[in-house]
Chain A
Amino acid sequence: MASGNSISAARADALIQARGLRFAYEADRWVVDDVSLDLKRGALAALIGANGSGKSTLIRLLAGLRSASAGEVLFSGQPLKGIPRKRLARSLAYVPQINPMIFPFTAMEVVLTGRSPYTPRFRFENRLDVEQALMALAAVGAAHLAPRPVTELSGGERQLVAVARALAQEPECLILDEPAAALDLKHRAALIRILRQLRDRQGMTALMVTHDLQLLDPAFDRVFAIHRGSLLAEGSPGQVLRGEVLSRVYEDPQVRARKLEGRTFVWSGT
């Protein structure tokens, strides 16, 4: 496993850089408080932290969905704010946490919207776009869902469709907000496998918020842990997934981590 600990050298090939990010929904209650981090090109990274620690807000800032109160985000060395929305959508895809659907769009229609950054405003998607969308669905093992209305799908299936839509954007970087939450054991493992394949074959970068710490070691390259809006630890899964670090991240002295057969297992309690 390539370890990324030469931090000063990493600057050059960082795809997303955050510098002193701060964000507050209400005045002076910082949800994200002075976060600086580098997400290396081609890295599969995880963002962990307790409920309400500001994970979702942080990745929204990184994805350009909110603008920070202070600090800035650089994407490929350019300020995120200065990149036109449509161009950004071709390089960076975001998979939201929950995807409530009111209208019974088909899964295909949903995935096809991932092609909209490439199609002109007044044109429908062409055959090539449709093929791309089908491939994206097939990549997450959900090709059979294409004609189904999303309102009839289970939470996990809907999550797969959302990931497929993001893949249809052909992004350089995927940002996912708890994509594994609604997935069962098998699909969780499959999702991680897909992310790793995309990294290995195309050098795709991915940052994923997750509560499922068993997924991280050895699949991920880097783990960021935040605590009350601030970055508390960062490093390889082996470096972050340790009892003494996680106890502080989750404010739970009972967190334990144990290495077994090359994987790190984490639990809390007796």
Chain B
Amino acid sequence: MDASPQVPEGAGSSQQSTPSSPRRPGNASRAAPRNLIRPLILVLLFLAASTLVSLWVGYRLLDLSLLREDETARSLFFQLRLPRVVMAGILGASLGSVGACLQAFFRNPLAEPFTLGVSGGGTLGASVAIAFGWGITLAGVPMVFLAAFAGSAVAVLVVYWLSRTGDVVMPGTLLLAGVVVNLIASAGVILIQYIADYSRALQILRWTIGTIDVVGFDRIWRMLILLIPGWAILLAIARDLHLLAMGEESAASLGVNVRRCERLVYIASSLIVGVAVAEGGTIAFVGLIIPHAVRLVLGQDVRLVLPCSFLVGAGFLMLADALARTALTSGELPVGAVTAVIGGVTFLGLLRRQRRFSAI
């Protein structure tokens, strides 16, 4: 069943003769197999540029000579600006790649951690943990992370359970369920703020808005313990997601273990989003805009879109955070507000365009 070409050549040529079809197997450029190298270079260039820009700008522009000589400047750079840029990159990469994953998995271009209520669930989980005390850790992993992970996981399960009837996930119900879970979660957060003591309530409030606030690399290492396995899972199932994006049944017939893939998507996305939310609060719509931008430039192949959304997401959030840091002459904007404005408008545009598709 190998060797011999399975397909009868010229089967279409005999009598059926569609005017233009046979004897012209596509032009050369179409026949070229796909590879990851060129898109990856493109995306890495963007990432490098945005890293440089966001390291450069800030409360004061970076001064290399000062950095070499002045101890304070150096420690400011390495303890504040660099960790912050790295953190923005990590959060952006997480949200971007989870967005690409959820869109392919649910076959819904409007799916992302925020619209599906995953970040809402994480926020609620993290709020509970903060109300009991920010500092508690479990084997080196902050309790907030674990609580947010649990909250996100519950949210994914509820949303998916609500929107799935038999074999079909209804796209409208999916988003509606996401919105409702978000509402319930934020009501829960408000309740907790109301009950919790004053200083912790303020802590929760500041954090839910979505700001990147980090000193040193300690927390970043702790995040990475949980994030790296999540990222690895996403990248490992990119091909399965590519097949799933074209339909669950055909993916299954091509050898994809749909149930296992489903479980991995749950675990990875709630793990990643949980940790990202616990650290950065709700940074909305990054997971929506980034995969769309990537698809616009690189096409639909999920095996390209997912890793590229990871890198572009990192670059994008670094830039958004740089903007948030510098937009006001005094103080800074919450980065969540910056992305929500950009992303919200994009979402509406997509919603309007999506009405053309027959899939409701």
Binding site for B on A (CB under 8 A): 25, 63, 65, 85-86, 88-94, 96, 99-106, 108-110, 113-114, 116-117, 121-122, 124-127, 129-132, 134-144, 146-147, 151, 162, 165, 167, 169-172, 186, 189-190, 193-194, 197-198, 201-202, 204
Q: A102-B245, A103-B245, A138-B10 are in contact. List 7 more A-B contacts (CB 8 A).
A: A103-B109, A117-B254, A124-B33, A132-B5, A134-B26, A138-B21, A143-B22
Complex-state Cα separation, A88 to B254, whole angstroms? 8
Using A124-B34, A141-B12 as known contacts, say yes or no to A86 and B21 having CB atoms under 8 A apart: no
A-B contact count (CB 8 A): 170
Binds A, one of B132-140, B236-244, B277-285: B236-244
Contacts of A108 in B (CB 8 A): 26, 30
Q: Which residues of B contact A194 (CB under 8 A)?
A: 8, 11
Give the distance in Å from the alpha carbon of A102 to the alpha carbon of B236 in the complex. 23
A-B contact pairs, 5 of them (CB 8 A): A135-B5, A141-B11, A141-B16, A165-B250, A189-B16
Cβ of B35 under 8 Å from chain A: yes
CA of A136 to CA of B148 in the docked complex: distance in angstroms?
48
**CB <8 Å contact, A85 and B12:** no
The docked-state distance in angstroms from the alpha carbon of A125 to that of B107 is 23
Query: Would you call B33 and A138 a contact (CB within 8 A)?
Result: no
Chain B residues within an 8 Å CB radius of A104: 300
Verify A116–B18 contact, CB threshold 8 A.
Answer: no
The distance from the CB of B327 to the nearest CB of chain A, in whole angstroms, is 35
Which residues on B sit within 8 Å (CB–CB) of A167? Answer: 6-7
Interface residues of B in 23-43 (CB under 8 A from A): 24-26, 30-36
Q: What 5 A-B pairs have minimum CB-CB distances, sorted nearest first?
A: A141-B12, A94-B253, A89-B255, A86-B255, A170-B6
User: Which residues does chain B contribute within 8 Å of A204, judged by CB atoms?
Assistant: 6
Asked if A198 and B31 make an inter-chain contact with CB atoms under 8 angstroms apart, the answer reads no
Minimal beta-carbon separation of A36 from chain B (angstroms): 23
- Docked-complex contact A124 and B35, CB < 8 angstroms: yes
Q: In the bound complex, do residue B26 and residue A139 qualify as a contact, i.e. CB atoms below 8 Å apart?
A: no
What sequence of 0s and 1s flags, for each residue 89-125 of chain B, a beta carbon within 8 Å of any chain A beta carbon? 0000000000000001001110000000000000000
Contacts known (A94-B253, A105-B246, A167-B6); A141 close to B18, Cβ less than 8 A: yes
Contact B7 A139 (CB under 8 A): yes
The CA of A138 and the CA of B255, in the complex, are separated in Å by 24
Residue contact B254 to A89, C-beta cutoff 8 Å: yes
Interface residues on B, range: 35 or more
Q: Are B357 and A102 in contact (CB under 8 A)?
A: yes
A204 CA to B253 CA, complexed, in Å: 18
Chain B minimum-CB-distance residue to A191:
B16
**Assuming the A-B contacts A94-B250, A100-B247, A126-B33, are A116 and B239 also in contact, with contact meaning beta carbons closer than 8 angstroms in the complex?**
yes
B257: Cβ under 8 A from any A Cβ: yes
Given A131-B31, A197-B11, A201-B8: A143 in contact with B25 (beta carbons within 8 A): yes
Mark interface residues in B248-262 (1 if CB within 8 Å of A CB, else 0). 011011111100000
Contacts of A96 in B (CB 8 A): 247, 249-250, 253
Chain A positions within 8 Å of B295 at CB level: 103
Chain A residues with CB under 8 A of B18:
141-142, 144
Cβ contacts under 8 Å, B25 to chain A = 131, 134-135, 137-138, 143
| B residues near A189, Cβ cutoff 8 Å | 16
Q: Which of B11, B31, B236, B252 neighbours the largest number of chain A CB atoms within 10 Å of its CB?
A: B11
Report the nearest B residue to A151, measured CB to CB.
B357
- Least Cβ distance of B28 to chain A in Å? 11
The residue in chain B whose Cβ has the minimal distance to the Cβ of A89 is: B255
Are the C-beta atoms of A143 and B32 separated by less than 8 Å?
A: no
User: B21 — which chain A residues lie within 8 A by C-beta?
Assistant: 138, 141-144
CB distance from B103 to the nearest CB of A (A): 8
Given contacts A130-B32, A141-B18, contact A135 B250 (CB under 8 A): no
CA distance A89 to B242 in the complex (A): 16
B332, CB-defined interface residue at 8 Å: no
Q: Which of B7, B11, B249 contacts A132 (CB 8 A)?
A: B7
Verify B33–A100 contact, CB threshold 8 A: no
Cβ of B9 < 8 Å from any Cβ of A? yes
Pairwise interchain contact A146-B247, C-beta atoms closer than 8 A: no
Say yes or no: A135 contacts B243, CB within 8 Å.
no
Q: How far is the CB of A155 from chain B (nearest CB, A)?
A: 11
Most central of A102, A110, A146 by chain B CB within 10 Å: A102
Within the complex, what minimum Cβ distance (angstroms) separates A255 from chain B?
Answer: 31
Alpha-carbon distance between A100 and B35 when the two chains are bound, in angstroms = 27
**Residues of chain B lying within 8 A (CB to CB) of residue A147:** 26, 30
Evaluate contact between A193 and B11: CB separation under 8 angstroms.
Answer: yes
Which residues on B sit within 8 Å (CB–CB) of A142?
18, 21
Residues of chain A with a CB closer than 8 A to B236's CB: 121
B255 proximity list for chain A (CB < 8 A): 85-86, 88-89, 116-117
- Which residues from chain B contact A89 at a C-beta distance below 8 Å? 253-255
B4 at the interface (CB under 8 A from A): yes
CA distance A114 to B6 in the complex (A): 13
Kindly list chain A residues whose C-beta atoms are within 8 Å of the C-beta of B256.
85
Tell whether, in the assembled complex, residue A140 and residue B1 are in contact, meaning their CB atoms are under 8 Å apart.
no
Give the interface centre of B10, B20, B32, B300 by most chain A CB atoms within 10 Å. B300
B303 at the interface (CB under 8 A from A): yes
A113→B243 contact, CB < 8 A: yes
Q: Do the beta carbons of A90 and B16 come within 8 Å of each other?
A: no
Contacts of B22 in A (CB 8 A): 138, 141, 143
Please judge, given known A-B contacts A116-B239, A141-B22, A143-B25, whether A94 and B107 are in contact too, CB under 8 Å. no
- B16 interface neighbour in A86, A122, A193, Cβ under 8 Å: A193
- Contact of A130 with B300 at beta-carbon distance under 8 Å, contacts A151-B357, A162-B250, A198-B8 already known: no
Contact of B33 among A85, A92, A129 (CB under 8 A): A129
Select which of B171, B246, B253 is within 8 A of A65 by beta carbon. Answer: B253
Please tell me which one of the listed residues A109, A130, A144 contacts residue B20 in the complex, with CB atoms under 8 A apart: A144
